[in-house]
Amino acid sequence: MTAAPSTPNTGLFSRTGPPGSRATWLWGVIGILLLLLLWEGYKAIGPEAGVVLGDTRLLPRTSDLAMPHTWDMVTRLFEGETQARNASPLWVTVVSASAFTLGIAAAGWLAGVVVGVGLALVMLRWKIAEWALLPWIVLSQTVPIIAFAPVVRSWGAQLELGPIQWEGWMSVALIASWLAFFPIAVGALKGLQSPETAHVELMHTYSVGWWTTLLRLRLPAAVPYLLAALRLGAANAVIGAVVAEISTGQRGGIGRLLIQFAGQASSDPAKAWGPIFGAVALGLVAAGSVAMLGVILSKYRRTEEK
């Protein structure tokens, strides 16, 4: 759950110096290596029981159980998921679970886009709707709506919408869409309202209606805001899907895997890192996909000034 997009330039990728310059990449790689070194270094010299201050353990235990070697985490991915002879490698399990969760998150994200953009249009069209809805939408972003995820589990089995039988994954997608739609609604509204007065008046002098103004001016002008909002929405949908899988007990996804493998950590500590890598990849793929959308729509990200 990330914050609402305030400006189109809130992106983390916007201030990265000259993008793609070799030095930037090099330092990024050095950063990762440094982190690995820190992990292994602490594991080698740190106290067995970790660093405890009062009741709180500030630094972790250094046993293989608590901190497996980084190379073990990676090699474990290519070993069988279980001890069974015909077990598929761990990475296959992780990838298929990630794909499953990604699918649910995408469904939730799409629903969130439809609802969020729809609400933004309603708020744009009628001032009174903006007054009534926006405070609630902003408020909802600031409170842990996701707390109700465990309760949604009870809805699943007892809902029947005509011929469609409510399925478990729909509850997960519902929660994902719930989280996705807030930043999208706020960002879309901000974007649709972003054209300067001069541009709006220009359309007025052309004597064109609300819909034409929307199509030719407001929607193109909203693209940078929308892209930021869609990226936030995607990140939120992934978080919502992972959390909802856990709290609704949905099987087949990365959320379930996280819990399941963590339970086996006492015998197989490196295995628990598999689904973590999966979750990280999931978030990056989701945000990256939206970023691709930004490349396609790059002409709408120009500004009038240089």
Partner 1 sequence: MSTPHTTSPAREQSPPAGDSAPAVAAAHIEKIFPTSGGEVHALSDISLSVRPGEFVSLIGPSGCGKSTLMRLIADLDQPSSGELQVFGKDARQARRDQDYGIAFQKAGLLPWRTVSDNIGLPLQLHGVSSAQRKARVQGLLEMVSLEDFGDHHPDQLSGGMQQRVAIARSLAEKPRLLLMDEPFGALDEMTRERMQTELLRICTETGASVVFVTHSIPEAVYLSDRVVVMSPRPGRISEVVDMELEDPAARGDDLREDASYFRMITAVREALHGGAPSGRGVETR
Partner 2 sequence: METTTTTTTAGRILAPIALGLLGLAVWQILVGVVGVSGYLLPTPMAIFSEAQQFSDSIVEAGLITGWNSLVGLVAGSLLGVVFAALAASLKPVHDMVNPFVAALAVIPIVALAPILNTMFGTTEFPRQAIAGLASFVPVFVSTLRGLRQTNPEHRDLMRSYAASGVQVFRTITLPTAVPYVFTGVRIASSLAVISALVAEYFGGPRGGLGGIISTAAASSQYPRAWAYVLASIVLGLLFYLTTLALERLANRSRAAAAG
Least separation, in Å, of the C-beta of 197 and partner 1? 10
243 contact, one of partner 1, partner 2, none, CB 5-8 Å limit per kind: partner 2
- In the region spanning residues 158 to 197, those forming contacts with partner 1, defined by CB under 8 A, are 196
Helix 273-296 and helix 254-263, axial crossing angle in degrees, nearest 10: 160
Q: H or E segment at 52? A: strand 51-53
Q: Which of 286, 276, 117, 113 is nearest to 189 (CA)?
A: 117
Q: Which stretch binds partner 1 (CB under 8 A): 30-38, 113-121, 198-206, 235-243?
A: 198-206
Distance, in Å, from the CA atom of 170 to the CA atom of 188, rounded to the nearest integer, reads: 25
Q: Which is nearer to partner 2, 57 or 301 (CB)?
A: 57
Rg, the chain, Cα only = 23
Residue 147 interacts with, from partner 1, partner 2, none (CB under 5-8 Å by kind): partner 2
Nearer to partner 1, 219 or 287 (CB): 219
Shorter beta-carbon distance to partner 1: residue 97 or 223: 223
Q: Tell which positions 202-221 bind partner 1, by CB under 8 A.
A: 202-208, 212, 216-217, 220-221
The strand ranges marked E within 64-213 are 160-161, 164-165
What is d(CA 306, CA 295) in angstroms, rounded to the nearest whole number?
Answer: 19
Distance in angstroms (rounded) separating the CA atoms of residues 212 and 22? 45
Q: How far apart are CA 169 and CA 105, in angstroms?
A: 10
Q: How far is the CB of 141 from partner 2 (least distance, A)?
A: 7
CB 208 to partner 1: min, Å: 5
Nearer to partner 1, 22 or 302 (CB): 302
- Shortest gap between Cβ of 13 and partner 1 (angstroms)? 20
- Please check whether residue 51 is in contact with residue 57, taking contact to mean a CB–CB distance below 8 angstroms: yes
Contact 172, 238 (CB under 8 A): no
199 is a site residue for partner 1 (CB under 8 A):
yes
Residue pointed to by tokens 């001890």: 83
Compute the least distance from the CB of residue 231 to partner 2, in Å. 7
Q: Under the criterion CB under 8 A, does residue 85 sit at the interface with partner 1? A: no
Q: Which does 46 bind (CB under 5 to 8 A by kind): partner 1, partner 2, none?
A: none
Contacts for 9 with CB less than 8 Å, ≥ 6 apart: 224
Minimum separation from the CB atom of position 179 to partner 1 (A): 30
CB of 195 to partner 2, least distance (A): 17
CA gap 143, 139 in Å, rounded: 7
Instruction: Enter the tokens of residue 58.
Output: 């500030």
Tell me the number of residues near partner 1 by CB under 8 A. 25
Is residue 150 involved in binding partner 1 (CB under 8 A)? no
List of residues contacting partner 1 (CB under 8 A)? 196, 198-199, 201-208, 212, 216-217, 220-221, 223, 299-306
